[in-house]
Chain A
Amino acid sequence: DTGVSQDPRHKITKRGQNVTFRCDPISEHNRLYWYRQTLGQGPEFLTYFQNEAQLEKSRLLSDRFSAERPKGSFSTLEIQRTEQGDSAMYLCAGAVGQGEYGYTFGSGTRLTVV
């Protein structure tokens, strides 16, 4: 248990459907990040929250993607009108302070779009 929980662990969806993933960091994680990882590649940054404020978004985060962190606790990542290219592992990470002590990643949600 890393202290960051992600749900579900796996999701298979048909192209065009909407999906939502959830991330539960520990209470001390003032910072929360979403990353995407495809096979053989390192994780790619998607977006970052400082408490409840979404402060940075990657160009990878198209209009079909939206993330929220209400009340600065758990976070959700929604993908609308999924495409096959969205198939990947979606990772959530939490950090304290400015992240100077490292990020704590969850085990990820593996999305397969068929």
Chain B
Amino acid sequence: LAKTTQPISMDSYEGQEVNITCSHNNIATNDYITWYQQFPSQGPRFIIQGYKTKVTNEVASLFIPADRKSSTLSLPRVSLSDTAVYYCLVVQTGANNLFFGTGTRLTVIP
């Protein structure tokens, strides 16, 4: 299982774009990358996932370079309500569980 490394914490001002980068040097060919968001006292919430290049949805964008050894979650124009912990996960296709690290604690400042 590929280990992921992401910053422990980040601060950002409201209205700015936030990019959280995750390293996964040992990602395997059949693995994909997925990101979850977790607010205090709630379960994680699926944000976005991808295999390569760029994926965009109504919440975020995910950029994955050709070598797939890293990925960047991009949150456009963050608001105070985006303050949360963001987890980057590498998932084996057909895996029976998800492995969460400690995530990145994003604090949005007014």
Q: Which residues of A line the B interface, CB within 8 A?
A: 2, 4, 33, 35, 40-45, 48, 55-56, 58, 89, 91-93, 98-108, 110
Contact = CB atoms under 8 A, between A and B. Distances in A.
A93 B43 contact: yes
Interface residues of B, number: 22
B45 interface: yes
Interface in B88-110: 91, 93-103
With most chain B CB atoms within 10 A of its CB, the pick from A2, A55, A98, A100 is A100
Nearest to A31: B96
A108 B42 contact: yes
A55 B96 contact: yes
Interface of B: 34, 41-46, 49, 85, 87, 91, 93-103
Nearest to A108: B43
25 contacts: A33-B98, A35-B100, A41-B102, A42-B100, A42-B103, A43-B44, A43-B100, A48-B97, A56-B96, A89-B41, A91-B44, A92-B43, A93-B43, A98-B93, A99-B91, A102-B46, A102-B49, A103-B44, A103-B46, A103-B98, A104-B46, A106-B43, A107-B43, A108-B43, A110-B41
Contact of A105 (B45, B91, B101, B103): B45
Q: Give the 4 A-B residue pairs with the shortest CB-CB distance, closest first.
A: A105-B43, A42-B100, A102-B46, A45-B97
